[in-house]
Amino acid sequence: MTKSVSDDTALDWRSLAKIPLLAMLADSQLRSLWAASSSRRYVAQQVLRHAGDPATHLLLLLRGGVAATATTPTGRVVRFGTFAAPCALDKVAVIDGRGHTATLTALTSCIVRMLPRDSFQTLVDSASSARRHVLRLLADHVRRQQEQFVAASTLHTEARLAAWLLNAAATTADCRVTLPGTQESLADLFGVTRVTINRALTQLRQNGLIAVRSRTVDILAPELLKLRAAAATSG
């Protein structure tokens, strides 16, 4: 059950400017969006939205982390990715109105600003600069998905894991990456078994490229890890 956040003094309308989707908006527009939205707090492992739920609001993640997953007809849970604040979640669902594309689950305690879909659409329809910005972000999203598909089709799990670690470490100052839950969760992210992901981690560790400590990975040799990330399969 969601809990209403009546007052969080550390967050205000300026927090919206940190979300890439809204970064180009004027202060007056950000204030209007803040006034039109409401806050919700979620605890770890709580579901924000289920796949297929009506996308009545744009979910603006201000604090915490969220995983996007789907369940296959055989019952396997596939993780599409993880998202860290600040960001807008499942923008496509809000734009096309066909329901949420994935089940969104809190990985940590989260604070989410809920912006009614109508308010977001009014903003996009009324400002050409906002429309161009949204289209550019969606195009970037599609391009990244294509790159991920190519990587999944052509790279060994070890190479894909190396690339993912480097990308995750790019946002940190100490080359330390926090894994998204258990090794099973990481395996779901790559669409492989836990044994396969464990084998890839072990190989990178034995080669002296990383150090694994519980749920964190320290990158010891980033340049060598880049070479491993570029290694294609032999078929």
Comparing 92 with 86, the larger pLDDT belongs to: 86
Strand, coil or helix: what is 75?
coil
Amino acid at 49: R
Closest CA to 91 of 145, 14, 12, 168: 145
Give the bridge partners for 231, in sequence order.
none
pLDDT digit string (tens) for 128-182?
Answer: 666 666 666 666 665 565 555 555 554 588 888 888 888 888 777 778 888 877 7
pLDDT digit string (tens) for 18-32?
Answer: 998 888 888 998 999
Task: Give the C-alpha separation, 175 to 172, whole Å.
Answer: 6
DSSP string computed for 185-216: HHHHHHTS-HHHHHHHHHHHHHTTSEEEETTE
CATH topology match: 3-151 vs 155-229: no
Strand, coil or helix: what is 130?
helix
pLDDT digit string (tens) for 150-165?
Answer: 555 545 888 888 888 8
How long a stretch of residues is the chain?
235
* CATH number of the domain located at residue range(s) 3-151 in this protein: 2.60.120.10
Any idea which fold 155-229 has? Arc Repressor Mutant, subunit A (1.10.10)
Domain boundaries, the chain: 3-151, 155-229
* In contact, 36 and 117? CB cutoff 8 Å: no
What element of type H or E holds 122? helix 117-126
**pTM (global) more than 0.85:** no
Task: Give the C-alpha separation, 198 to 147, whole Å.
Answer: 24
